[in-house]
Structure 1
């Protein structure tokens, strides 16, 4: 089964691990399921982050960095230091971890929320948010995308997410609204072209901040 088919499958829980040129930055996706599959077979984390695996892999390709996607997870992979997901990230020994998540635009009014896991690192998350927003404003179709990295203002703070609070690396917990990861119409299908254009902005912002 090729990787695209694995991302579309709901039949099993599996990891997609890809090693690319860079290991100083790693992209992680702990809660992927394809669009149309809103729940995971995981009692700890019931809601899936639909289509985030497609977004994360595209971002990793743009950065030419290592990536890991947990598909249809039966455990909440980023909440356990001994999960296969977290241990693989540790094997790469990154300086920066970028985790891609999805929210339903219900608890947050922002299209994009960025947290580094605590108020102490809000300077880093705010700087990345500004770099993304600046690029989105230059694209007419992305100009209305709202991005927030201010710890005090976001809902998804990831304070109990062990991969984000791990002191071995700086981590960005990035929550994307449906428009940046799901199809425009219908319940199934991959992200839109707009979602991938947003990833281009995110990749460029990460390169600006971390080389």
Structure 2
């Protein structure tokens, strides 16, 4: 089964690890499920982040960085450092970890929230958010996408996410609204062009900050 077919599958606890040139920057996706599968078989984290694996993999390919995607997981993999997901990140030993998550823009007023897991690290998330905002504002299709990295203003702070708060690397917890992940009014399918365009802007921001 090729990778895209795995990302479309509802098979439980698939883990997709792909090693690329860059080991210093790793893309992680802990809660992927295909579009049309809104829940995970996980009592700790029942809401899935539909299509985040597709977005995360696209981002990793653009950056030529390693990626790890947990699909339809039965445990909350980024809350346990002994999960296969976390152990793979630890083995790669990156300087920067970027985790891609998804939200439905119910609890947050922003399309994109960026957190580094604490108020003390907010300087890093605010800086990345500012770079992303500058890049997206150049694209008319993305002009109204709202991005916030200020710890005090965001809802998804990731303070209890062990892969984000681990001191061995600097981690960015990035929450994407459904308009950037899901295929419009359809239940199934890949993200729309808008999602890929935003992902390309995020890749440019990360490449500029971490060349």
The TM-score, its normalising length taken from structure 1, stands at 0.99
CA distance in 1 between counterparts of 2:207 and 2:41 reads 35
Is 1:51 matched with 2:46? no
Aligned to 2:65: 65
Aligned to 1:130: 130
CA distance in 2 between counterparts of 1:207 and 1:122 reads 20
Deviation string for 1:126-163 (max 9, x for gaps)?
Answer: 00001001111000000000000000000000000000
Aligned to 1:196: 196
Aligned-residue Cα RMSD (Å) equals 0.5
CA distance in 1 between counterparts of 2:210 and 2:119 reads 20
Q: Which 4+ residue blocks in structure 1 deviate beyond 4 angstroms?
A: none
Aligned to 1:144: 144
Q: Following TM superposition, by how much is the alpha carbon of 1:208 offset from its aligned partner in structure 2, in angstroms? A: 1.4
Within-5 A mapping of 1:151-162: 151-162=151-162
CA distance in 2 between counterparts of 1:12 and 1:208 reads 36
Unaligned runs of at least 5 residues, structure 2: none
Count residues in correspondence: 211
Within-5 A mapping of 1:1-211: 1-211=1-211
3-state secondary structure, aligned to 2:62: helix
The TM-score, its normalising length taken from structure 2, stands at 0.99
Deviation string for 1:36-69 (max 9, x for gaps)?
Answer: 0000000000000000000000000000000000
Unaligned runs of at least 5 residues, structure 1: none
Q: Following TM superposition, by how much is the alpha carbon of 1:193 offset from its aligned partner in structure 2, in angstroms? A: 1.1
